[in-house]
Structure 1
Amino acid sequence: MAELWERLQVFGLSQYEARTYVAAVQLGKSSAYQLSKASGVPRARVYDVLNSLVDRGIVMLEEDDEGNKAYLPLPVDVFLDRVQRQWESAFDKAGSELKQLESCDPTSDVYVATVRGEQNVLSFCRMLLKRAKARVLLSMWRPMYNRLLPELQAIHQTGCSIKGIVIGVDEPIGDLYAHRMNEYMYSIDKPWFILAIDGKELLYGHSVEANGNAFYTDDPVHLYLLEDYIWHDVLVNRLVQQGGEEQLDGWILPERARFFDITD
């Protein structure tokens, strides 16, 4: 029930209003006392809450000749339709106004912004993928790749190029290359991702399952370095595959440790 109350609060109801409306739906026609008892809203507050719901048309008030008051909930289908229409209208208007503000005073300065939270990172990725016109470059591990696969498939069907490298994926879509797995790859405890769109926008950082931050930028230097990193990763994997994986990995891994002064 607590989750339902929280969902109703997203629609603009206070916690007490959400609890009272849910109780009204459960009880049907009922008194303020019954609603207070069923919802857990204190009797000292339930009248104010009911008056608010009545004013908003979410609960209906009936009063008999003797002054006794009874409350009925707005039918659920009517309530949901009303909420949906209000939400869609507010969403469209807010989106239009925000986009106008965004385009009013564009800045020429490049910047890097931090994106925090699993859902925010995924939403940002999906937004970038929807904006892709010609080319997507990515480097990504399987868990995050799977989360974004529907969006990747959708833009792939439009003819948008998808290139790069994925780790732990057996049959990637587009021109994605499957990264070889070796001792070094298995030792990585915080996987990363890189997502570059049309050579103009970039999101990179810890993969969502690593519970870290991601960083957005339109800085050309960032774009060049990380797009080139993806290409070099693809190139090395191809060369290793052609030259004998065990033999070259036996040389590459010690050389990497030597380059970065890794002694363990």
Structure 2
Amino acid sequence: MSELSSYQEAVELLQKLGLKEYEAKCFVALSRLPKATAKEISETSDVPRTRVYDAIRVLETKGLVEIQHSNPQQFRSVPIGEAAKTLRAEYESRTESLVDALESMGSASLNADEEVTHEVWALSGESAIGNRLLQLVGDADEEVVLILGREGTVTDELLERLQSARESGVDVLVGTTTGAFHDRIEGALPDAEVFVSELSWLHSSPSDPDDDTAISRLLLVDRDTILVSSVEEDESGSVEYERAVFGKGFTNGIVVIARRLMAMGLNPIDDPKPRDE
């Protein structure tokens, strides 16, 4: 990545974290200098000098910039690690405030007796899908069957959630794509049933060699909740985007088929009788 593109990325990310454009540019400029005057910040950041002072005042309020009251005044950014912690704390605080505000208005969610079943919904974004998967695993009462198509989907939080489910008496079955991947998961989840899945089409379509879509996660919870996600990969194998579909209340043949398919690799396949429809 070039210096220019790194600069632009840093400014854009700071804006996403709540800074305005001039504030972000001034902070990035200061992070590249041991200290600087308003004139030097303006020259480095292309922020008009008259606007530098306003931006610095906001950055100081946020705890991101230090000021030396000399003549002329000197400014410097706090260490990058410290700035990251400050921004993270503010972001989390805003998120908590948002949750409190939304909850204070009352939830529009359906209660257990009103929940609609046999509906399929779509969700996009790797982070959002990962969070939904964690929630579904946490809600499990009897069984979790999870096929992991990519090692990148495994996080410490996911392993902790699966281990917690197992400790609460939930049967946890995890399928992987390779032996090395299997050993990693088995070491992290010694009480779970870990196996190498025989779903060879997870990473490619046998009928279409140009298909660059790979199955990322397959989840079946309590034999009535399904989540399936796929990713589009570039030539280097990096994930460009992840999409998922999920639904609840499927107490019918589709779940039997899904579970038997997902359990390919278990020997023998442990397939409890489906619940009464």
Q: 8 Å contact 1:59–1:71 — kept in the other structure?
A: no
Q: Percent identity?
A: 20
* Among 72, 79, 87, the residue aligned to 1:83: 87
The CA deviation at 1:200 is 5.2
Bigger shift: residues 86-95 or 205-214: 205-214
**Structure 2-normalised TM-score?**
0.62
Structure 1: segments with no counterpart, 5+ residues: 242-264
Partner of 1:168: 177
Where do 1:221-240 residues align within 5 Å?
A: 221=250, 224-233=252-261
Where do 1:126-165 residues align within 5 Å?
A: 126-138=134-146, 140=147, 142-143=149-150, 147-148=153-154, 150-151=156-157, 153-158=159-164, 159=166, 160-163=170-173
- Letter of the 2:226 counterpart: L
Tell which structure's C-alpha radius of gyration is larger: 1
**Structure 1-normalised TM-score?**
0.64
The CA deviation at 1:69 is 4.7
Distance 1:12 1:128 in 2: 31
Distance 2:226 2:123 in 1: 12
Partner of 2:246: 216
**Superposed CA RMSD:** 4.1
Residues 184-204 of structure 1, C-alpha deviations (whole Å, 9 max, x = no match) = 987165444431233454322
Residues 44-101 of structure 1, C-alpha deviations (whole Å, 9 max, x = no match) = 643443454456565466667xxx6524246337655543433332233333444565
Structure 2: segments with no counterpart, 5+ residues: 1-5, 187-191, 234-238, 270-277
Distance 1:25 1:236 in 2: 53
Q: Which has the higher helix share?
A: 1
1:106 lines up with 2:110 in the alignment: yes
Partner of 2:39: 33
Q: 8 Å contact 2:123–2:243 — kept in the other structure?
A: yes
* CA 163–224 in structure 1, closer or farther in 2 if over 3 Å, else same: farther
Tell me the SS of whatever aligns to 2:19. Answer: coil
* CA 71–132 in structure 1, closer or farther in 2 if over 3 Å, else same: farther
* CA 117–35 in structure 1, closer or farther in 2 if over 3 Å, else same: same
Residues 102-158 of structure 1, C-alpha deviations (whole Å, 9 max, x = no match) = 7455263344321123343333323433443442123x35326x6237455434433
Question: Size of the alignment, in residue pairs?
Answer: 233
Partner of 1:117: 125
Where do 1:185-224 residues align within 5 Å?
A: 187=206, 189=211, 190-192=213-215, 193-199=217-223, 201-207=225-231, 211=241, 213-218=243-248, 220-221=249-250, 224=252
Partner of 1:262: none
Distance 1:182 1:81 in 2: 43
